[in-house]
Amino acid sequence: MKYYTSKEIRTKYLEFFTEKEHKVISDYSVIPENDPTVLFTTAGMQPLVPYLLGEKHPRGARIANVQRCIRTGDIEEVGDDTHATFFEMLGNWSLGDYFKEESINWSWEFLTSAKWLDIPKEKLYFTVFEGDNDAPRDEESYSLWRSLGVAEDHLFFMPKSENWWGPAGSTGPCGPDTEMFYDTGKPKCSEACDPSCSCGKYVEIWNNVFMEYSKDENGLFSPLSQKNVDTGMGLERILIALNGGTIYDTDLFKDIVEQTRKLSRKNLFGENEEKSLKIIADHLRTSTIIIGDRQGVTPSNTDQGYVIRRLIRRAIRHANLLEIPTGSITKICELVINQYGEVYPELKENETKIIHEVLQEEQKFNKTIQQGMKEFQKMLDKLDSKTKEIDGKSAFKLYDTYGFPIELTLELASEKGYEVNVQAYKDYFDEHRKKSQLGAEQKFKGGLADNSIETTRLHTATHLLHESLRRVLGDSIEQKGSNITTQRLRFDFSFNRKLTKEEITRVEEMVNDSIRSNYSIVNKQMTVEEAKQEGAIGLFESKYGDIVNVYSIGDFSKEICGGPHTKSTEELGIFKIKKEESSSSGVRRIKAVLL
């Protein structure tokens, strides 16, 4: 049996769609730009929403890439055979070009052709939308799969909960999808077992979304004038389908897990120790990717920084269980950097930063644990000696504030002759988890799918703010992230101190002077090299000679961007900075509004 590596699959996928006249584009940052709906880039389509809504992509109507994605709603599940917080999504898109026939035919060809993945046809199962009051049954997709030779008992109609995507917000593009599954060979859990079952027999490997409807404010669906195709294939999942085993048996994880094992002072690895190995490998892999990103953020107590802090500290807790020496976990980060450095060269460029931040967080966490031990003793001192029970709220506070896993609290309590109300702890934990999942999935209303007048004006204002900061504070200022709601903009930038009142006033006045100048806003498409030569600023993310959109605001600002923008600055109104604060180490944050 042939063994596939991650590099082979990435290469084959992009070669296949290049043959189908797609342009390969660079992946986007894992920190969403101007999208407040999520903390991280969670899917390949997420940064492409403006183009799915009708903006013209500079590379044309057929594009493909490999996108780094972060999903953190199930952090506590990591350590089993399937969950991972960082993964890579292989995607191809039609922006108003081809539709169902080409998309389904090409998916079948890539999966089953001997030239490409050569998966046995009998191992593949498919689902399509069964229809409802909003949209009809997807007979076209069903007929296309049947025409390719898919047997009836390998093809299922499914409801909207299984085979429908979108819209990204409350309104906008949406439509049915068709999903492809691999039969792992496990026995059916029941007679009713089908690809919608979570027993593990069927693993989804690819999803083709057909955006052919638009949902309005009244919940009504109407046909789209521009029909799009958005697909996503999980790299880790297709490797499991091809090679067998779990995600930790793929080349993406194997060496990282083994490095973690070598660092441990333990000789025996039972089920708990094996789970700790997986948690450490996953969490440090993800943390390395986030900190080393082009817009990388560092551990903090808010937003993305809080997620990184949580990942690193959870990894440290499990490193302690495996008796991994303090300061050694950075060797795992170094391995991740070496493993992914060829694909994502920014990791090597940011290696010093990654190692420094992880070491610093380890030192901080060790101090926190020591403080937590003191708090634990204070908690016992306050308890009624007759009850001999630690309540669930107190146990959860030890976890949430000081990083104490419930196992540590139980162990310490037992040593002192106390019990812990574990059920009450679980209730607090579940409530916290639901909030975390909600935060990971949708942080604010608005986002890239919201091309309202308010968000368009605020997005345009970020260009003026960026250039004004550079002129007031110096050319070394770089954007480190932004997000926009309908009420305000938030802009993060590299700077190592608090701005003075005079500097804030100068920046604010410079933006307003530009608005009053009524500059026209012009978009030109050019190569990255041409953009650099013309003095454009922005994230030069290209690895494939991309054509980019460069927006010029009079002679004041020139920046690479994906939109949306107003036609002139006069439409913006009055710019007002509401707050300037620290975001993370070496990064400041400005919140501003338009009046």
Q: Please give the annotated binding residues, written as ranges.
A: 459, 463, 561, 565
Cα gap 588→479, rounded to integer Å: 10
Rg (CA), the chain: 26
DSSP 458-515: HHHHHHHHHHHHHHHH-TT--EEEEEE-SS-EEEEEE-SSPPPHHHHHHHHHHHHHHH
End-to-end CA distance of the chain: 65
Q: Residue type for 553, please? A: I
The two beta strands, 419-420 and 389-390, are parallel
The 3-state DSSP class for residue 212 equals strand
d(CA 53, CA 549): 16
Binding-site positions for Zn(2+) read 459, 463, 561, 565
The whole-angstrom separation of Cα 2 and Cα 524 is 47
Angle between helices 351-382 and 303-321 (to 10 degrees): 80
At 252 the three-state DSSP class reads: coil
Token pair for 64: 């493909």
Work out the burial of residue 336: count CB atoms within 10 Å of its CB; fewer than 13 is exposed, 13-18 middle, 19 or more buried.
Answer: buried
HSE, CB side, 13 Å, CA atoms: give it for residue 15: 10
Other C-beta atoms closer than 10 Å to the C-beta of 207 total: 21
Structure tokens at 275: 């789970």
The DSSP call for residue 288 is H
Contact 90, 13 (CB under 8 A): yes
Phi, psi angles (nearest 5°) of residue 154: -110, 10
CA distance 332 to 325: 12
Cα separation of 354 and 175, whole Å?
A: 40
Report which of 378, 441, 372 is spatially closest to residue 408, judged by C-alpha positions. 372
**Exposure letters 499-526 (e unless 16+ CB within 10 A, then b):** beeeebebbbebbbebbeeebebeeeeb
DSSP strand pairing (389-390 vs 202-215): unpaired
- DSSP tag of 567: S
Residue type, 168: A
**SS3 call for 16:** helix
- Residue identified by tokens 């409801």 is 159
H helix runs in 329-442, sequence order = 330-340, 346-349, 351-382, 392-402, 406-415, 422-441
Alpha-carbon gap, residue 426 to 304, rounded angstroms:
25
Q: Which residues pair with 81 in a beta bridge?
A: none
Residue 521 β-bridge partners: 553
Q: How far is CA 519 from CA 158, 287, 323, 561, in A?
A: 52, 42, 62, 17
